[in-house]
Amino acid sequence: MTAAIEVRQVHKRFGALQALGGVDLEIDTGEFFALLGPNGAGKTTLINIIAGLTLASSGCVRVMGHDVVADYREARRVLGVVPQELVFDPFFTVRETLVFQSGYYGLKKNGDWIDEIIHHLDLADKVDTNMRSLSGGMKRRVLVAQALVHKPPVIVLDEPTAGVDVELRQALWRFIKQLNRNGHTIVLTTHYLEEAEALCNRVAMLKKGNIVALDSIRNLINGISGYLIRLRLSPDTLPAALQPLMSSRDDVYFFLAIKEYSQLEIVMAALRVAQAQILELQVLQPDLEEAFVKITGNAGSPEFLPVSA
């Protein structure tokens, strides 16, 4: 089967800066795939090379078997990209923007699909509004619609929910998941790691232009040993017997690291001996964020946000 995206030994330099250092990556047709990494890791550079917006210094990229340089017309026809930046034409309404976008791909009778996209992205009451008058969140919806207007088999979403409200995020993912079920390949970059964990099957993690992890999300999480206990006590003092287990603390909680569930009894016994009142106790399961921190070393990275933000 032809890979949806095939990246072979891609290097990219901007002067003295090496943005990508020999990336090898293959994304299967029909996958929901996450491309993750801290700011400056090279994610957007790689996406721009896949989209034909930037030329690689060396290496090759194919989309559905089409070389993005030698066969760029077909490569771009099978790809839809939602960019990070809010790029739009200020002279057109929402519907005009989507009609013109259809024209770029030679689609003359695309009204039914445009209406369906407008419905799913909740743009119905904005179809005759000039793009300049839209809020940032609405403009991002239109960018998503533009990427989908020619029904590409491969869709790349570069931070598609940045700055949008929770309602739109949920509606967008319902639509995108349906497209994936219908056979579209989805590639997602996001700073909402809970979002990636809930949606994607496999993930590649980039750091300083290199892939440092490539596996299923489940395997990456299973590679983390131990658990964290989040604990709130009265009085707000951790018994001395539990001090060796303390991983960290904030203004409210103590975080204790244990290797296995059986150690819970040790924690409970120490709290009973100290006559500490448990106000809150939660055993935190390993998740994708913890795997990301372990693999990339970006502990407490401010660019990764809770999905409810």
- Tell me: the pLDDT tens digits for 131-149? 999 888 888 889 989 999 9
Domain boundaries, the chain: 5-78+152-221, 225-285
Query: How many Å apart are CA 186 and CA 156, to the nearest integer?
Result: 6
Is CATH 3.40.50.300 the right assignment for the domain spanning 5-78+152-221? yes
Q: 44-79: buried (b, 16+ CB within 10 Å) or exposed (e) per residue?
A: bbbbbbbbbebebeebebbbbebebeeeeeebbbbb
Q: Pairing between strand 202-207 and 246-249?
A: unpaired
CB 63 within 8 A of CB 78: yes
Inform me whether the pLDDT recorded for 254 exceeds 90: yes
Inform me whether the pLDDT recorded for 301 exceeds 50: no
Q: Pairing between strand 210-216 and 254-258?
A: unpaired
For helices 166-181 and 111-120, give the axis angle rounded to 10 degrees. Answer: 130
Sign of CA dihedral 188, 190, 193, 199: negative
Stronger pLDDT, 187 or 87, i.e. the higher one: 187
CB 288 within 8 A of CB 192: no
Position 261 scores a pLDDT of 85
Inform me whether the pLDDT recorded for 31 exceeds 80: yes
Kindly indicate the confidence band of residue 243, based on its pLDDT and cuts at 50, 70 and 90.
Answer: very high
Inform me whether the pLDDT recorded for 129 exceeds 90: yes
Position 55 scores a pLDDT of 95
Q: Pairing between strand 185-189 and 154-158?
A: parallel
Query: How many Å apart are CA 158 and CA 95, to the nearest integer?
Result: 23
Inform me whether the pLDDT recorded for 259 exceeds 60: yes
Mean pLDDT in residue range 144-171:
86
Position 298 scores a pLDDT of 59
CA 46 to mean position of chain CA atoms = 14
CB 156 within 8 A of CB 47: yes
The 3-state DSSP class for residue 245 equals: helix
Query: How many Å apart are CA 229 and CA 260, to the nearest integer?
Result: 11
**Tokens, residue 188:** 């997602």
Residue with tokens 């400056």: 40
Backbone angles phi, psi at 141, to 5 degrees: -60, -40
Position 288 scores a pLDDT of 87
pTM above 0.95, yes or no: no
Residue 32 CB: number of other CB atoms within 10 A? 20
Kindly indicate the confidence band of residue 308, based on its pLDDT and cuts at 50, 70 and 90.
Answer: very low
* One-letter identity of residue 143: L
Q: For residue 204, list its beta bridge partners.
A: 35, 214
Q: For residue 33, list its beta bridge partners.
A: 187, 202
Position 25 scores a pLDDT of 95
CB 307 within 8 A of CB 194: yes
Stronger pLDDT, 75 or 306, i.e. the higher one: 75
Query: How many Å apart are CA 31 and CA 3, to the nearest integer?
Result: 10
Inform me whether the pLDDT recorded for 279 exceeds 90: yes
Inform me whether the pLDDT recorded for 114 exceeds 50: yes
Q: Which of 130-134, 235-239, 257-261 is the least confident region?
A: 257-261
Residue with tokens 């809770």: 306
Position 253 scores a pLDDT of 93
Length of the chain counted residue by residue = 309
Residue 280 CB: number of other CB atoms within 10 A? 10
